[in-house]
């Protein structure tokens, strides 16, 4: 797990974190988020316009935190749902995952909600269909109207771990 450093202040050349520089989908998402944040710690959720990033939408999940502190998928893109084997939109992480996978997901979301900084994670997991994937994720904080983290925009790339990979997004 790597917490990505925020890019340089406006006026400097923005840099994509080295961990995702070779992944076009996540690099594009990072650049979009960076443009929208315009030198601030993070952009507001209201500044994100799905029509501006249609090619990224299948690989994006939006996660918020409920009043009782649970993390919930507000939205799950089709490539994410395909890799998971189901659409978890509206479900909390503890309704979807158990054990180490739940602990890891909660830890990653907590880190971004608490720090207000992006996070890059690369994990291996077994889908509900018994398929082993390597997932590379970029979790980006989005501010609510009070300028605190209100939701996470998470870009996902999944690569099936076989001799003939079936990938969703860019290969890792």
| pLDDT tens digit sequence for 30-88 | 999 999 999 899 999 999 999 999 999 999 999 999 999 999 999 999 999 988 889 99
Q: Which of 42, 72, 30, 10 is nearest to 148 (CA)?
A: 42
In angstroms, rounded to a whole number, what is the distance separating the alpha carbons of residues 4 and 17? Answer: 6
Cα 162 to Cα 17, 129, 140: the distances in Å are: 27, 14, 29
Backbone angles phi, psi at 23, to 5 degrees: -110, 105
| pLDDT tens digit sequence for 87-120 | 999 999 999 988 988 999 999 999 999 999 999 9
DSSP 6: P
DSSP alpha helix (H) spans, 8-151: 24-37, 78-84, 93-96, 99-115
């Amino acid at each position: 797990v790597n917490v990505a450093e925020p890019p340089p202040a406006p006026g400097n050349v923005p840099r994509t974190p080295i961990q995702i520089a070779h992944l076009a989908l996540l690099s594009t998402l990072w650049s979009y988020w960076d443009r929208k944040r315009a030198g601030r710690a993070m952009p507001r959720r209201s500044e994100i316009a799905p029509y501006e990033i249609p090619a990224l939408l299948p690989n994006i999940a939006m996660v918020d935190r409920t009043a009782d502190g649970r993390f919930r998928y507000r939205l799950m893109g089709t490539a994410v749902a395909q890799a998971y084997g189901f659409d978890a939109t509206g479900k909390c992480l503890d309704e979807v995952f158990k054990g180490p996978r739940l602990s890891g997901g909660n830890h990653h979301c907590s880190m971004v909600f608490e720090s207000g900084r992006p996070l890059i994670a690369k994990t291996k997991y077994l889908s509900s269909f018994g398929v082993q994937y390597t997932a590379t994720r970029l979790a980006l904080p989005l501010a609510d109207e009070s300028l605190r983290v209100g939701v996470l925009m998470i870009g996902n790339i999944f690569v099936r771990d076989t001799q003939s990979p079936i990938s969703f997004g860019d290969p890792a």
